[in-house]
Amino acid sequence: MSHSYDVLIVGAGHGGAQAAIALRQRGFTGSIAMVGEEPEIPYERPPLSKDYLAGEKEFERILIRPASFWAEREVDILTGRRVVTVDAAAHRVVTEDGDSIGYGSLIWAAGGHARRLSCHGHDFAGVHWVRSRADVETMMGELATTTRVAVIGGGYIGLEAAAVLSKLGKQVTVLEALDRVLARVAGEALSRFYEDEHRAHGVDVRLGTMVESIEGADGRASGVRLADGEVVPCEMVIVGIGIVPAVEPLLAAGAEGGNGVAVDALCRTNLPDVFAIGDCAFHANDFADGASIRLESVQNANDMATTVARVLTGEEIPYHAVPWFWSNQYDLKLQTVGLSTGFDRAIVRGDMSARSFSVVYLRDGAVIALDCVNAVKDYVQGKALVVNATRADPALLADAGTPLKSLLEAA
Ligand code: FAD
């Protein structure tokens, strides 16, 4: 079969869905299709390690839009189809099942795949990762026979899963290779706070711990062997060690990249009429001091999608969106604004023991990010400090009685 669309979106996740939504909102009348390798129409990924894993939400409630929405807006969704080849000169992609689909413009929104372990036992039954609905449902199906869970990786997804599973009564061990959790994304104060919280909930948090292999019998995991020889016994292993950007077909077609696909401020790759957005887009970010990075967040996927929809409807506005992120663990709602990478000073605002506080990150005296724990007001007001790279008196930043918005006015 050979067919063609004015806009073809590869990846039916957050970025892909938002690209189609924004195109129609902006009056784009051409044909649009989304090709996604998963069997579902676009759904939200954040609940997979939060309330969906906890069994507190039906799948229909995490759909980004109901099926009728896409039909009404004439957005074709080709589910269960994996794109394996891009022919940039011919403006065509080919799916694993041999279908060739032409495009006017291609939006690559394929996100990433969960990074797997490579050690002995990595493919045993009982070893899981949390990227898709299917991953989580397989895990949930094994919970009834699981007492002990080892989570490899103390990043957000691993910690969120640890929180849910310990609340479900499982005995959870978190194995982190570095000397603190969340080391890639937060300062030490926040890491220590979350380590303490997890320990207070009975989670065994092990730092500086290298995994050697997965132990098992008859192809099923029974424990995690550490570098020092100790075996942490468990029935379930959750691997939360990041993602590998899903960009092979684009790179093979000649796109520049390596850690994802390189894009400019309008999310254009170096291939003609090919854009890349979301987790897989390697871009110079204004809020990272211009450094090129990939951002793994719903905000980034949505805002990049809007950037491309604008370009395709005749409005070229460079991507310049303040990064924000959230994480729910136990009754703690963390909201992050800005990027703390490269900070030279961290100021704690409020009382950590009261479990409502913020960490304000500064670089060269300017506010670059805030981590707000059960502190919505700081998050809302702090955003403007990040956007304006406000220089504020550290003593006032540390004083929870001084509203952050007053510091903006004073600056
Ligand atoms: P995705 O939403 O991952 O969509 C990409 C889609 O493309 C996938 O369906 C994939 O299967 C498909 N695909 C890949 N390759 C191909 C191919 N060759 N052909 C066809 N289809 C393909 N972000 C937050 O901001 N806050 C949170 O609290 C948060 N929690 C998270 C919790 C979990 C468990 C996970 C996994 C992610 C979380 N994130 C969170 C990150 C957020 O979900 C991602 O940043 C976001 O989904 C990125 O959107 P995307 O469109 O780039 O990729």
> What are 325-343's pLDDT values in tens digits?
999 999 999 999 999 999 9
Q: Is residue 321 packed enough to be buried (19+ CB in 10 Å), middle (13-18) or exposed (0-12)?
A: middle
Q: How does pLDDT run across 368-389, given as a tens digit for each residue?
A: 999 999 999 999 999 999 999 9
pLDDT at 2: 58
- Give the pLDDT band of residue 408 (cuts 50, 70, 90): confident
Distance 89 CA to ligand 1 centre (A): 28
What is the atom index within ligand 1 of the atom nearest the CA of 111? Answer: 53
Is the shortest distance between the CB of 48 and ligand 1 below 6 Å? Answer: yes
What is the atom index within ligand 1 of the atom nearest the CA of 42? Answer: 9
DSSP H helices, 91-170, are: 133-142, 156-167
Q: Is residue 355 packed enough to be buried (19+ CB in 10 Å), middle (13-18) or exposed (0-12)?
A: middle
Least confident interval from 2-11, 171-180, 300-309: 2-11
pLDDT at 326: 97
CA dist list (Å): 59 to 36, 39, 56, 161, 317: 18, 13, 10, 18, 35
Half-sphere CA count of 195, side-chain side, radius 13 A: 20
What is the atom index within ligand 1 of the atom nearest the CA of 82? Answer: 19
Q: What percentage of the chain carries pLDDT values higher than 90?
A: 98
Residue in the block written with tokens 């990040």: 386
Distance 314 CA to ligand 1 centre (A): 27
Q: How does pLDDT run across 93-131, given as a tens digit for each residue?
A: 999 999 999 999 999 999 999 999 999 999 999 999 999
Mutate to test the pocket of ligand 1, among 78, 132, 296 (most ligand atoms within 8 A of CB): 296
pLDDT at 163: 98
Is the shortest distance between the CB of 83 and ligand 1 below 6 Å? Answer: yes
Q: Any idea what the Cα angle at residue 243 is, between residues 291 and 13, rounded to 5°?
A: 95
Distance 45 CA to ligand 1 centre (A): 6
Mean pLDDT of 201-223: 97
Mean pLDDT of 265-278: 98
Q: Cα(131)–Cα(133) distance, rounded to whole angstroms?
A: 7
Is the shortest distance between the CB of 130 and ligand 1 below 6 Å? Answer: yes
Please tell me whether the overall predicted TM-score, pTM, comes out greater than 0.85 for this model: yes
Instruction: List % helix, strand, coil for the chain (3-state, nearest 5).
Output: 30, 30, 40
Instruction: Give bridge partners of residue 9 from the DSSP assignment.
Output: 34, 107
Q: How does pLDDT run across 24-75, given as a tens digit for each residue?
A: 999 999 999 999 999 999 999 999 999 999 999 999 999 999 999 999 999 9
Q: Cα(279)–Cα(111) distance, rounded to whole angstroms?
A: 5
Distance 245 CA to ligand 1 centre (A): 10
Chain-wide mean pLDDT for the chain?
97
